[in-house]
């Protein structure tokens, strides 16, 4: 009788182990293959019509830290990518425990700037949406890296 109970206990633990491994793999798969789903809605007037672009479009000239330990810091944008992380050679060096050594990169493509996560532990967020691929950053849209929030400004 004790042998039967021991075998049933072993089988139960083995089943629990396989269920745990399946749940972990399912979670990893959904995190890896999830799209960023970031959509920037068009600007509307009170009548409900889309606003036309008037004249020159505003071009981002500065990267401004709006929240976090470095709030108020302003970096002038050039043609070089902006590296963000805890590494000493980053353009924006963060002293945030929730930021990775090489957390994210802002790079220019034409007139637009794109943010991409560099495999960080806690992720990079563009206005509450997790960044999984390179995503265009509109002016004034918050980008969260750990506890630090940055924005592109004209």
Closest CA to 124 of 134, 112, 113: 134
Q: Evaluate whether residue 41 is within a structural domain.
A: no
Give φ, ψ of 60 to 5 degrees. -65, 130
Q: What pLDDT sits at residue 43?
A: 55
Closest CA to 30 of 99, 130, 151: 130
- Once rounded to an integer, what is the mean pLDDT over residues 9-14? 95
Q: What pLDDT sits at residue 39?
A: 47
Give ∠ CA 117-122-130 in degrees, rounded to 5: 55
Same domain, 106 and 145: yes
Give the separation between CA 71 and CA 69, rounded to whole angstroms: 6
pTM over 0.95? The answer is: no
Enclosing domain of residue 19:
1-31
Q: Evaluate whether residue 38 is within a structural domain.
A: no
Give the separation between CA 150 and CA 72, rounded to whole angstroms: 10
Q: Evaluate whether residue 50 is within a structural domain.
A: no
Q: Evaluate whether residue 20 is within a structural domain.
A: yes
Same domain, 86 and 147: yes
Q: For tokens 């060096």, what's the residue?
A: 93
Looking at residue 119, what DSSP letter applies?
A: S
Place 2 in a pLDDT band, splitting at 50, 70 and 90: confident
Q: What pLDDT sits at residue 128?
A: 87
Q: Is the pLDDT of residue 50 over 80?
A: no
Reported as type and span, the H/E element at residue 108 is strand 104-109
Q: Evaluate whether residue 43 is within a structural domain.
A: no
Closest CA to 141 of 120, 121, 115, 109: 115
More confident: 54 or 71:
71
Query: Can you give the CATH number for the domain in which 89 is found?
Result: 2.60.200.20
Q: Is the pLDDT of residue 5 over 70?
A: yes
Place 26 in a pLDDT band, splitting at 50, 70 and 90: confident
Closest CA to 152 of 144, 143, 140: 140
More confident: 45 or 57:
57
Same domain, 120 and 76: yes
Q: Evaluate whether residue 52 is within a structural domain.
A: no
Q: Evaluate whether residue 141 is within a structural domain.
A: yes
pLDDT one-digit tens code per residue, 55-90: 556 789 999 999 999 999 999 999 899 999 999 999
pLDDT one-digit tens code per residue, 107-144: 999 889 999 999 998 999 998 899 989 999 999 999 99
Q: Evaluate whether residue 24 is within a structural domain.
A: yes
Split into its structural domains, the chain has a count of 2
């Amino acid at each position: 009788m004790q042998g039967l109970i021991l075998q049933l206990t072993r089988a139960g633990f083995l089943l629990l182990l396989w269920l745990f491994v399946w749940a972990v793999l399912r979670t990893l798969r959904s995190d890896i293959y999830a799209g960023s789903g970031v959509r920037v809605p068009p600007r509307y007037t009170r009548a409900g019509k889309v606003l036309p672009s008037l004249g020159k479009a505003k071009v981002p000239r500065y990267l401004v830290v709006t929240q976090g330990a470095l709030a108020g810091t302003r970096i002038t944008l050039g043609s070089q990518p902006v590296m963000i992380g805890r590494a000493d050679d980053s353009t924006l060096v963060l002293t945030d425990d929730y930021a990775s050594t090489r957390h994210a990169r802002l790079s220019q493509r034409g007139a637009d700037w794109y943010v991409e996560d560099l495999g960080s532990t806690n992720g990079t967020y563009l206005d509450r949406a997790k960044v999984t691929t390179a995503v265009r950053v509109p002016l004034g849209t918050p980008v969260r890296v750990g506890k630090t929030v940055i924005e592109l400004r004209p």
